[in-house]
Amino acid sequence: MKDQSIYAIELENITKTFGRIVANKNINLNVKQGEILALLGENGSGKTTLMNMLSGIYKPDSGTIKVDGVPVSIHSPEDSKKFGIGMVHQHFKLVEVFSAADNIWMGTEHTGFILKKDRYNKISEISNKFGFEFNPKKLVSNMSVSEKQTLEILRVLYYGAKVIILDEPTAVLTVQEIQKLFDVLRKMKEEGHSIIIITHKLNEVMEISDRVTILRKGEYIDTVNTSETSEQELTDLMVGRKVNLNIQRPVTEFDRPLLEIRNLTIKNDEGSNAIEDVNFYIRGGEILGVAGIAGCGQKELCEAIAGLRKVEKGQINHKGENIVGLAPKTIIEKGISMSFIPEDRLGMGLAPSLSITDNMILKTYRDNKKTPFVDRKTAKAKAEEIIKKLGVVTPSAETPVRRLSGGNVQKVLVGREIDAGPNVIITAYPVRGLDINSSYAIYDILNEQKKNGVGILFVGEDLDVMLALCDKIMVLCHGKLMGVVHAHKTTKEELGLMMTGAKNISEVNGKIAGIAKDSRIQNAEEEDNA
């Protein structure tokens, strides 16, 4: 009998190395039938590597994998599918130009040579069975992130997966969407599916999981029952020492507005409005958070401020001077720095194949005007200073950036931007995918800059963090400003409602949000009117 084993999956003494790097060392992990196991660990602790061995992407060097108590060897995703294991990857593995149905259909077996129209019905049936609302003919490119994730989950269910692995599923979802996802997971659990969920967010671990397995630096630490532990204990196990979980929000003296945005309209690559008639301002010594569902114009806004994207309408005022239309270089020289961490983390700002030193040179090569040659000495000193100050884990300053783990890459990027001594910092998703330790290092860096009177625009994902770190939070919904709220006076639920457009407080009693009383551009406006 299959059901004799209480464990759906057992991993015993799994070891995996990449060259000289040991990603997983003697890991033990097991999942019972019908339970939700959270897999917790910092960046580079080997969580995704371990799960990729279950999904057939990697092969373990040594160790045993058991499915329903029977030892198996998984050589490819095809094998993994046969054993009833399905993985929802962090970066969705979907074909953008296909419909939802075709994305599922391409992996089905024994469904005939010719594509028939009834495949849409078959997929609708399954999705109704699991309680999803779903249009099988919708193209993936027209889907929201949440819909894409639903499709991925539905796909593994359609293939008959009994064990479902979710790699950081909540990183890109809103509060409401996360609750919806958790409802689905609980339902799947009731039906006897086993679920492994990888996440960094401790509150989610506490909410959804039955047990937690903790990895640290590629090694197995412990497995604990969720009901018998606390967030503090989990953090300590994960990091290996006591960690203070409070994010600081130092009180500073606010300055007059440094950066003021008025009636800004920006188009996206497709030519529709990414940002529409938005007003806001940042003072020196303040962190302004930007909340919104992914793809609500955050990227376009950052690019426009940095001078990388054309502004259709409106003003971007820096210390009272309109910087719309200036070259990116001029904007940098005025002290505005931007660091944008895209989903793939390496897409913007750093050249992956170049060393840390060379990446420093990208920004400072103009500084030495005496010789036509590149000044490697100063750059190397700077690189080493950042490595030391921010605790970047790297063999040397000459290591290509792409070989560093995500957190360290981000430290290098943020470190370089701050090194230039800016007065306005635009930072988008600086802690994207980072573990607690690295995240706190980044928050500390930002707070230090804030104390020095720098104005910071913080585009974030995690509302809990934004509520703790930011002074004020502005909310965007489909490129429109829904309002600006004080972080200590608002709640997660209110922000969630504003993000989905259910609540709009951008104009209350005739007072438009995002315009400072002591604006520096009043004079300019009068001139315009005259």
Given the complex with other proteins, which of 404 and 454 has the nearer CB atom?
Answer: 404
Chain center to CA of 326: 30
- Among residues 344, 255, 347, which one has the least CA distance to residue 303? 347
Q: Which of 2, 28, 93, 377 binds other proteins (CB under 8 A)?
A: 93
- Is 102 one of the binding residues for other proteins (CB under 8 A)? yes
**Min. distance of Cβ 209 from other proteins in angstroms?**
24
What's the chain's length in residues? 530
Stretch that binds other proteins, among 103-111, 201-209, 349-357, 507-515 (CB under 8 A): 103-111
What is d(CA 265, CA 260) in angstroms, rounded to the nearest whole number? Answer: 14
Sheet hosting strand 257-267, strand order edge to edge? 273-283, 257-267, 311-318, 321-322
Q: Which of 57, 175, 324, 381 binds other proteins (CB under 8 A)?
A: 57
- Is 159 one of the binding residues for other proteins (CB under 8 A)? yes
Given the complex with other proteins, which of 81 and 450 has the nearer CB atom?
Answer: 81
Give all strands (DSSP E) within 148-206, no chain letters.
163-167, 194-198
Binding map of other proteins across residues 409-448, x = CB under 8 A, - = no contact: ----------------------------------------
Binding map of other proteins across residues 6-45, x = CB under 8 A, - = no contact: ----------------------------------------
Tokens representing residue 192 in the block: 């006897």
Given the complex with other proteins, which of 75 and 187 has the nearer CB atom?
Answer: 75
- Is 95 one of the binding residues for other proteins (CB under 8 A)? yes
For residue 489, report the phi and psi dihedrals to the nearest 5 degrees: -110, -5
- Is 89 one of the binding residues for other proteins (CB under 8 A)? yes
Given the complex with other proteins, which of 76 and 330 has the nearer CB atom?
Answer: 76
- Is 452 one of the binding residues for other proteins (CB under 8 A)? no
Given the complex with other proteins, which of 289 and 433 has the nearer CB atom?
Answer: 433
What is d(CA 445, CA 308) in angstroms, rounded to the nearest whole number? Answer: 25
Stretch that binds other proteins, among 2-10, 78-86, 121-129, 485-493 (CB under 8 A): 78-86
Q: Which of 50, 54, 65, 105 binds other proteins (CB under 8 A)?
A: 105
- Among residues 465, 40, 10, 63, which one has the least CA distance to residue 226? 40
Stretch that binds other proteins, among 31-39, 101-109, 414-422, 423-431 (CB under 8 A): 101-109
Q: 10 Å Cβ neighbour count for 238?
A: 23
Number of residues located near other proteins, criterion CB under 8 A: 29
Between residue 112 and residue 131, which ones bind other proteins under the rule CB under 8 A? 112-115
**Min. distance of Cβ 81 from other proteins in angstroms?**
5
- Is 63 one of the binding residues for other proteins (CB under 8 A)? no
What is d(CA 288, CA 301) in angstroms, rounded to the nearest whole number? Answer: 14
Given the complex with other proteins, which of 343 and 464 has the nearer CB atom?
Answer: 343
Given the complex with other proteins, which of 117 and 241 has the nearer CB atom?
Answer: 117
What is d(CA 284, CA 252) in angstroms, rounded to the nearest whole number? Answer: 9
Stretch that binds other proteins, among 104-112, 202-210, 312-320, 457-465 (CB under 8 A): 104-112
What is d(CA 413, CA 349) in angstroms, rounded to the nearest whole number? Answer: 7
- Is 111 one of the binding residues for other proteins (CB under 8 A)? yes
What is d(CA 335, CA 424) in angstroms, rounded to the nearest whole number? Answer: 6
Given the complex with other proteins, which of 49 and 337 has the nearer CB atom?
Answer: 49
- Among residues 207, 201, 144, which one has the least CA distance to residue 171? 201
What is d(CA 251, CA 488) in angstroms, rounded to the nearest whole number? Answer: 12
> DSSP 3-state assignment of 339?
strand
Give all strands (DSSP E) within 143-250, no chain letters.
163-167, 194-198, 211-216, 219-225
Q: Is 458:442 a contact under the CB 8 Å cutoff? A: no
**Min. distance of Cβ 15 from other proteins in angstroms?**
16
Q: Is 505:483 a contact under the CB 8 Å cutoff? A: yes
What is d(CA 23, CA 16) in angstroms, rounded to the nearest whole number? Answer: 6
Please give the residue ranges that form the binding site for other proteins (CB under 8 A).
55, 57-58, 76-78, 80-81, 87, 89, 93-98, 102-103, 105-108, 111-115, 155, 159
